[in-house]
Structure 1
Amino acid sequence: MGASKETEIAPYPRRLPVVFPASIAQTLANETPGGQTQG
Protein backbone atom coordinates (compact mmCIF):
# COMPACT_ATOMS: atom_id res chain seq x y z
CA MET A 1 0.00 0.00 0.00
CA GLY A 2 2.26 2.78 -1.23
CA ALA A 3 0.86 3.67 -4.64
CA SER A 4 -1.93 5.58 -2.88
CA LYS A 5 0.55 8.17 -1.65
CA GLU A 6 2.32 8.35 -5.01
CA THR A 7 -0.93 8.81 -6.90
CA GLU A 8 -1.90 11.59 -4.51
CA ILE A 9 1.37 13.45 -4.95
CA ALA A 10 1.82 12.45 -8.58
CA PRO A 11 -1.22 13.52 -10.60
CA TYR A 12 0.90 13.22 -13.73
CA PRO A 13 1.91 9.79 -15.10
CA ARG A 14 4.53 8.41 -12.71
CA ARG A 15 6.74 7.62 -15.71
CA LEU A 16 9.63 9.89 -14.68
CA PRO A 17 10.49 9.32 -11.02
CA VAL A 18 13.94 10.92 -11.16
CA VAL A 19 13.70 12.52 -14.60
CA PHE A 20 10.68 14.57 -13.50
CA PRO A 21 12.64 17.16 -11.46
CA ALA A 22 15.42 17.31 -14.04
CA SER A 23 12.94 17.85 -16.88
CA ILE A 24 11.15 20.55 -14.92
CA ALA A 25 14.42 22.40 -14.25
CA GLN A 26 15.32 22.37 -17.94
CA THR A 27 11.80 23.29 -19.02
CA LEU A 28 11.75 26.24 -16.62
CA ALA A 29 15.14 27.45 -17.81
CA ASN A 30 13.98 27.11 -21.40
CA GLU A 31 10.67 28.86 -20.79
CA THR A 32 12.33 31.62 -18.80
CA PRO A 33 12.66 34.74 -20.97
CA GLY A 34 16.41 35.36 -21.20
CA GLY A 35 17.14 32.68 -18.67
CA GLN A 36 20.50 31.03 -18.03
CA THR A 37 20.08 28.77 -21.06
CA GLN A 38 19.96 31.61 -23.59
CA GLY A 39 22.06 34.01 -21.57
Structure 2
Amino acid sequence: MILAVVGPGIITSNVDNDAGGITTYSLAGSEFGLRLLW
Protein backbone atom coordinates (compact mmCIF):
# COMPACT_ATOMS: atom_id res chain seq x y z
CA MET A 1 0.00 0.00 0.00
CA ILE A 2 2.71 2.49 0.88
CA LEU A 3 4.58 1.82 -2.35
CA ALA A 4 1.50 2.82 -4.32
CA VAL A 5 1.67 6.25 -2.71
CA VAL A 6 5.43 6.70 -2.52
CA GLY A 7 6.25 5.05 -5.87
CA PRO A 8 5.66 8.14 -8.07
CA GLY A 9 7.59 10.24 -5.56
CA ILE A 10 10.63 8.01 -5.83
CA ILE A 11 10.45 8.06 -9.63
CA THR A 12 10.22 11.85 -9.80
CA SER A 13 13.01 12.31 -7.26
CA ASN A 14 15.43 10.74 -9.75
CA VAL A 15 14.75 13.44 -12.35
CA ASP A 16 17.21 15.96 -10.93
CA ASN A 17 19.65 14.85 -8.26
CA ASP A 18 20.42 18.02 -6.35
CA ALA A 19 20.05 18.22 -2.58
CA GLY A 20 16.84 20.25 -2.42
CA GLY A 21 15.31 18.67 -5.50
CA ILE A 22 15.22 15.14 -4.13
CA THR A 23 13.01 16.19 -1.23
CA THR A 24 10.86 18.51 -3.33
CA TYR A 25 10.27 16.00 -6.12
CA SER A 26 9.62 13.19 -3.65
CA LEU A 27 6.97 15.23 -1.88
CA ALA A 28 5.39 16.38 -5.14
CA GLY A 29 5.31 12.86 -6.53
CA SER A 30 3.81 11.38 -3.39
CA GLU A 31 1.18 14.12 -3.20
CA PHE A 32 0.09 14.24 -6.84
CA GLY A 33 0.98 10.71 -7.95
CA LEU A 34 0.54 10.12 -11.66
CA ARG A 35 -2.14 12.79 -12.10
CA LEU A 36 0.29 15.35 -13.56
CA LEU A 37 1.42 13.15 -16.45
CA TRP A 38 0.28 14.33 -19.85
What TM-score comes out, normalization by structure 1 length? 0.36
What TM-score comes out, normalization by structure 2 length? 0.37
Compare the two structures and name the one with the higher helix fraction. Answer: 2
